[in-house]
Amino acid sequence: MSIIELQTNEDWKKLFLSTSDKPVLLLKHSTTCPISAEAHKEFIAFQESASNEATYALVKVIEQRPVSNMIAEETGIKHESPQCLLISEQKVLWSDSHWSITKKNLEKALND
């Protein structure tokens, strides 16, 4: 399984529409933040061990600010980074940020 990196607003729109078919776990990642680096490690570890049918995606919030802003606007979830969103059928089912982004919490979110 690979992680889709969102680089354009079109990438986001396509991903968002795909949530009708299967859930998306999206990480909003700051490449300059040590807390975000830890969340990124947890996200990768979870994705590598996951046995579910989710799509995994990442947006680098500094490099792709317009995409990050569009995600916040269209989901109604105030931007934070690091931040993880579970989206299914174009609805955010779960979101969390900072130190709460752990392999254990990601597993719980997808299995609830």
23: domain CATH number?
3.40.30.10
Per-residue confidence of the chain (112 residues) as pLDDT tens digits? 689 999 999 999 999 999 999 999 999 999 999 999 999 999 999 998 877 789 999 999 999 999 999 999 999 999 989 999 999 999 999 999 999 999 999 999 988 7
Q: Which amino acid is at 5?
A: E
Positive or negative torsion for Cα 22, 5, 67, 100: positive
Structural domain boundaries enclosing 105: 3-111
Number of neighbours of residue 43 by Cβ within 10 angstroms: 24
Number of domains in the chain: 1
pTM given for the model: 0.94
- If phi > 0 it is left, if psi is from -120 to 50 it is alpha, else beta; for residue 97 that is beta
Q: Which two tokens stand for residue 71?
A: 């995600």
